[in-house]
Structure 1
Amino acid sequence: MHILVVDIGTGTQDILWFDSTRDPENCLKLVMPSPTLRVAGQIRQATAARQPLLLSGVLMGGGPSAWAAEDHHKAGLPIWATAAAARSFNDDLEAVRRDLGIEVVSADEAAGLARRPDMAHVTLRDFDYPAIAQAFAAFGLTLRPDALAVAVFDHGDAPPAVSDRQFRLDYLAARLQANRRLSTFAFPAAAVPPIMTRLQAVADSAGADPSVPVLVMDTAPAAVLGAWDDPVVRTHPSALIANVGNFHCLAFQYRDGQFVRLFEHHTGLLNQEGLTGWIERLADGSISHQEVFAGHGHGALVLDQTPVALDFVAVTGPRRAMLNGSRLPVYQAVPHGDQMMTGCFGLLRACADHFPNWRDEIVHALDTGQGVSLW
């Protein structure tokens, strides 16, 4: 079977063409600029050309694209956007207008604006299947996937009076209190919770062909789940696993193969000493949600305060070097020989849980040469 697996971050989108007849190391891969970086580049081209800007499409990840839109506004240039596109920057459309100067328009109004010859028109979406298919086609491969699996980071659609950070942590807690398997953060397209609007937008973008199943998942748990495919990590059932992303850092503590607690923070607010301290407190069970949240992180979830010996810390993510040379017993997780595909391998493990007809085939392909799967 073939699954197109795409792990979308802030810096890169990591793409794996999974072929169950090949060893994972021989599956085809691409590491390309993230969608938000591509959109930011298009916006900055419009700014340099002094063009008015129209944004259409669907809700997608922000960061670089939002900063580019802000700079376009500061340059005194107008921006129009459909409601779906505008929510890429803030779920509150009034805040989008106030902070970024974006005028929200209807689909009909956007169609009229797009016909202006001076207008720069940028389409927003996280998952761009045609672009990925074209990239593979350039090397003679025609994609005919049996399924699609895509990961993005989703804060969720918090009510106006609720902190995005608290809303995100409450969501993580609710999922893990119901099911401690990390595939709890993955959903077939038809089962995405309504509050997870970015995941839903990806599911909608990917679901053009109803005959091809679509699975969407949160990036941070996907990376932690993928780290277990490293054979060294597998020998440490009480591992602490940290995914140090460009924007967010999430760490899970296990004991005897069972999840017991986590914390999530903003990577930009951490340095080596700060991250080391949180990891130590996660291991000894003294970490608290209130303390992490007060430091402008998302918070912590503690299901069990019993200390776990801090003798193995598996690290992945694009900013994992933050822990190089720290006092922690750090191991750089490299599942199937490729750190950049960690989230993709986590997505495949989630596919095995959610697509039971394909479970044995996926697990057999991933476990070739590694023994029995524990996770």
Structure 2
Amino acid sequence: MPARIRVAAFSRTPLIYSSSTAFQHELRSSSRYTRHFSQSLRSSTVLRDQFYAWLSGPGQNFEKPLPGSTNYLSAYTSDGVLRRQKEETKVDEKEKSQESSAAKVANDGASIDGQNADDPATAMDNPDNTTDTPEEPEELKEEELENDQLKKESLRDLRPFPMNQQFVSESVLSESVREDIYNQVVNKGTHVVKASADANISIERVAAVVRLKQIEKNWLKDGKPLARAYSRAVLSMLPQTTSIAQAHESITDIPILPSTTRQVFHPVPESRHFTRADAAKAFSDNLKPADERMPHQELILTRKLQLQGERQHAIRIKVAQFAAQQEKERIGKREALKRREEKRTTVVAGRRWDFQIKEIKAEDVGYKGKNPKGTGWRYGMPHEDRKRALIKIPERVEA
């Protein structure tokens, strides 16, 4: 049975208040440690007041942001003034002061020349003693209107986090550029490599744009809703590449392979001509030179033909032939790989799944177990460059 509470532990005398004043005092003393749900402490109220003051002051710039601008915190001062607009006003004021000083000097010179205005000959030439001031041409007015427009964001304006100066927002493709890429690749039949070279966009990005656009088209066909408002809101906060003519990114970068990150001591005779192919062979026998590893071989061919003095029409013809040959070789390699995989694979049909069986050999991993052609090969092995008691300098020189 549960333990019973002894009645003797409590006082049996009832709590009697002599007057209503004592009752109110008791309520006040008990309310010291409790507060109403809608009430808040004074510190949080001050912070809330500061927040609302910021919303009604500098925060209005973010409630109604500038069109075509990122509108990050680092682009504004603490007073809510746009930094590049403030700099432009300073430059304009400086130019106006210079112009006013130059006009003052010119007026002083004119007053010196006008000391002989009492000459009767001068008075006859200009009896009213007035000068004709030509009207301001329309071209100057147009230039003033152009100067009123804000300049493009600088690197300082593209930092969304003021405390992290190393992070800068990179440009993204606008919706019109993505649609143009999709039309070129899908509708016009342009190859991904050529579309990448024409738009200065990497091959991987072009392929991703085409795949995502195809998914979007399929969703619209199936009647699925799209988050258009979310997409517009995100794009409005990021710098955009609005035209294919703009250079979006570098497409001549070569990926760094693990075989090129180690130290190599490769002595070469002074009389030998050391090329990129020799440098690639010094790192690995299977490593191709930088010219062959670049994805856009037609750009290299174009530059070589330009250095040889070829005409532009002949260059276009040769580059088109080279691109067609490369596409033919690429298709042939893909088909040969597919046939080889089909030959190695045995398919066993089942009721629900088809089982693919391939023949493997344990010896394919090699003597050290690092051959990637084998199954279960060891990966992540460190290089022996930093190990002790190893000869790191070549013992002989091959001529």
Shorter-normalised TM range? under 0.3
Q: Which protein is richer in strand relative to its size?
A: 1
Q: Which protein is richer in helix relative to its size?
A: 2
Instruction: Provide the TM-score with structure 2 as the length reference.
Output: 0.20
Instruction: Provide the TM-score with structure 1 as the length reference.
Output: 0.21
